[in-house]
Amino acid sequence: MVMIVKYNLKDKVVIITGASQGLGEQFAHGFAESGAHVVLAARRKELLDKITAELEKQYNVKTLAVETDVGKEKDIINLVKQTVEKFGTVDVLVNNAGMYIVKPLLEQTLEDWDTVMNVNLTSAFLASREVAKIMIPKKSGVIINISSTFGFGGTRFPEISYYTSKGGMIAMTKALAVELGEHNIRVNAIAPGFFPTPMSAGAFDDEKIRTTMIEPRTALPMFAQNEWIRGAACFLASDDARYITGHTLAVDGGWLAF
């Protein structure tokens, strides 16, 4: 099989949170395919080890798996520390870790709210702060925040904390882009629509949700495949996007066009 490298990210060092499955795993393959060395962070170390072995064998790149609970500040500090110890730097951060809790507003507890905010938004703040300590002195770097089309508005799913956290991710992307721009650090976001990841597979399996919510707002004549998210992240990390910052790129099959 001939490997086609779509973007030249050779020897770049990329940290990806929430990398044990779903879109995080796809980002890992996309960056490794483009020649980057990949640091995978998540709580399930056994899954990370499996993916890193695949990446090293398939793409001949270096990897590092770091067991990380992104809800804990010390774990994020350790993640960046281990990355620098092995690779000497950080070039790209992908804040991908995310979760949701489906409950009506009146049933959502403060603990539910805090849990989602910590994983989805606070972790991105902490990881961005830590990598900025590396990127600012060298006057280069890329941060990519994974938001959602749900960050632009609500749906019939009762997930108030998820919507709020993903909307906050878009706002944080703009704020960081402005603050870090003078240091030649670009900060952008990706807003995926419905992808058949383990996190959202239930929506596709539910005929009512699929036919009344997903299909009517999918402009293209097909549903997404998980690997189709790879190019957006690699593009934003590449020199092709050198003058793009503070932007949120929707990869949604036309969801936001309606």
- Kindly list the catalytic residues: 162
Which residues sit opposite 41 in a β-bridge? 17, 66
- The Cα-based distances of 227 to 126, 138, 150, 204, 255 in angstroms read 28, 32, 20, 17, 18
Distance CA 226, CA 26 (A): 7
Which two three-digit tokens encode residue 201? 């597979």
Chain center to CA of 137: 24
| Other CB atoms within 10 A of residue 138 CB | 13
Q: Helices 73-87 and 123-138, interaxial angle, to 10°?
A: 30
Confirm if 40 and 16 have CB atoms less than 8 A apart.
Answer: yes
Tokens 């957006």 locate to: 232
Which two three-digit tokens encode residue 196? 């058949």
Distance CA 194, CA 207 (A): 14
- The Cα-based distances of 215 to 22, 203, 226 in angstroms read 21, 11, 17
